[in-house]
Amino acid sequence: MNKAHWSNPKIVVGPVATGDYYFPRPHIVEAIWESIQKGGHVLLAAPRRVGKTSVMQAMLDQPLPDTRCVFQNIQGIKSEAEYYQRFYSLLVQCLNRFEKGKTWLGSLVKGIKIEEINLDGVKFGDQKNFDFAQGIQDLLAGIAQKKVRVVLLLDELPEVLSHLHKRGRGEEASNILNHLRELRQNPNLRAHLSLVLAGSVGIQHVVKQIEGRINDLNDFDQVPFEALDYASAQQYVAWATKDATVQYSPALTEHLLGLVGHFIPYFINLMLNEVNHFARSTNSPTPSSEDVDAAFVRIVKSSDHFGEWKNRLCDYFSAVEQAYLRDVLVYTAHTGRVAPPQLYNFAVKHNLQSTYMELVRGLEHDGYLTEQAEGFAFVSPILRAYWKADNPFFEL
């Protein structure tokens, strides 16, 4: 086949899938909107790479009547003051999306000049003497008077809080949590402000580090965000390869999905991409099951795909906790499953008897392990194979 006419599968590996590359997850979007319509706030506490960000961005094009949304990854926020400024800016951006938004902003924004509003954010004039925290309260009061609703879709809040806490700015992180709680519990804002929070590290673990408890999250509606089931995974492969040069028979699809195991689009995309890359480089548009197996091996050897899972443990856990989690993961990678007695034995080794199950649940929430009948196993054969290759030796 002429390589100039080669058609790649409709996938992205790494960047967020949007537009034509977004595989619709209607039941998740509907559940989020249902909560918002009831005046609730939503927590998408799901493992990394399941597609949370893609769903949040897709919501921008599907607002309810008298409702507008704005999405932003707020990972780069470095202080409490910057958080208030960013929050205020997002409210301004959201208001600007209403038909009468520019007129409303002219009457609602006081004490600071808006010089420009674009896709990247809001450019303000002199802001030295402007109190953004108070400005948020004033702007929300004005939004309530207009009888509209704004929805802020905030990605990576847990990372912001964790980094503040680690840099000795735990009080600022606590203040941000308190501010969000006050907004959620304000009855005057129930029909006018909704928050949808997501992040790729367990927010429960981060909040407990900061506050010593997770009560601050009890008023969120948690929307289940599961991996695709087998039938949906089959549909995904068919959807992604519909116009591609490399086509998958039912048998080859079954073989590929058997290697993936945990059907999140990211893992499937890795396989489809690697198979396509090899097929194109060899001008062989009809791959075999052996070609799919070889793609699996090449993916596992690439730390670029999975280093994030490893680095996250260093970013969010103490040295002792990291050592415990490493023992659990390496043992599980080599044996296939870790049973409760072995989890406890590792806890004794690291003197973590009182908190070890919380750490294990953290691995579950963050997409490393899944609970099975007699213990825990890796969620995916791909992730297990990577962890084993990265840690070829282990000892009890």
188 and 116 share one domain: yes
Asked if the structure places residue 29 within a domain, the reply is: no
Eight-class DSSP state of 217: G
For residue 212, pLDDT over 90 is answered with: no
Is residue 300 within a helix (H) or strand (E), and if so which, with residue range? helix 289-300
Report residue 323 as tokens.
């050592």
Residue 360 CA neighbour count, 13 Å, CB half: 25
Query: Of the residues 189, 222, 255, which one is the last residue of a structural domain?
Result: 222
For residue 233, pLDDT over 80 is answered with: yes
Question: Cβ-count burial of 115 within 10 angstroms (0-12 exposed, 13-18 middle, 19+ buried)?
Answer: exposed
Alpha-carbon span 17 to 308, nearest angstrom: 18
308 and 274 share one domain: no
Query: Of the residues 257, 284, 300, which one is the last residue of a structural domain?
Result: 300
78 and 204 share one domain: yes
Alpha-carbon span 11 to 295, nearest angstrom: 16
Kindly report the length of the chain: 396
Note whether 269 and 27 are within 8 A (CB). no
Q: Which residues pair with 198 in a beta bridge?
A: 44, 155
Measured in Å, how far apart are the chain's first and last C-alpha atoms? 53
210 and 293 share one domain: no
Convert 97-122 into a string of H (helix), E (strand) and C (coil): CCCCHHHHHHHHCCCCCEEEEECCEE
Asked if the structure places residue 3 within a domain, the reply is: no
pLDDT tens digits along 62-101: 888 999 999 999 989 999 999 999 999 999 999 999 999 9
Q: To which residue do tokens 């973590």 refer?
A: 352
For residue 200, pLDDT over 70 is answered with: no
Asked if the structure places residue 22 within a domain, the reply is: no
295 and 308 share one domain: no
pLDDT tens digits along 359-382: 998 898 888 999 998 899 999 999
Alpha-carbon span 234 to 237, nearest angstrom: 5
196 and 48 share one domain: yes
Which one, of 118, 217, 116, 215, lies nearest residue 158 by Cα? 217
Asked if the structure places residue 7 within a domain, the reply is: no
pLDDT value of residue 117? 93
Report residue 39 as tokens.
């005046």
For residue 99, the domain's CATH number is 3.40.50
| Number of neighbours of residue 395 by Cβ within 10 angstroms | 6
181 and 272 share one domain: no
Looking at the structure of the chain, the number of domains it has is 3
Query: Of the residues 242, 269, 300, which one is the last residue of a structural domain?
Result: 300
140 and 243 share one domain: no
95 and 122 share one domain: yes
Alpha-carbon span 150 to 47, nearest angstrom: 26
Alpha-carbon span 337 to 370, nearest angstrom: 10
Share above pLDDT 90 across residues of the chain, in percent, rounded to a whole number: 71
Asked if the structure places residue 200 within a domain, the reply is: yes
Burial 374-393 (b: 16+ CB within 10 A, else e): ebbbbbbbbbbbbbbebeee
Which one, of 245, 255, 162, lies nearest residue 211 by Cα? 162
161 and 206 share one domain: yes
Q: Are strands 149-155 and 193-198 parallel, antiparallel or unpaired?
A: parallel
Asked if the structure places residue 68 within a domain, the reply is: yes
For residue 201, pLDDT over 60 is answered with: no
For residue 312, the domain's CATH number is 1.10.10
pLDDT tens digits along 125-159: 998 889 999 999 999 999 999 999 999 999 889 88
Q: Are strands 42-44 and 193-198 parallel, antiparallel or unpaired?
A: parallel
Alpha-carbon span 263 to 260, nearest angstrom: 7
Question: Which residues are within 8 A (CB) of 204 and not within 5 positions of it... i.e. 6 or more apart?
Answer: 45, 214, 217, 362, 365
Burial 169-196 (b: 16+ CB within 10 A, else e): beebbbbbbebbeebbeeeebbebbbbb
pLDDT tens digits along 304-342: 788 778 887 887 788 999 999 999 999 999 999 999 999
Which one, of 60, 123, 40, lies nearest residue 89 by Cα? 123
Q: Domain limits at 282?
A: 227-300
49 and 160 share one domain: yes
pLDDT value of residue 374? 86
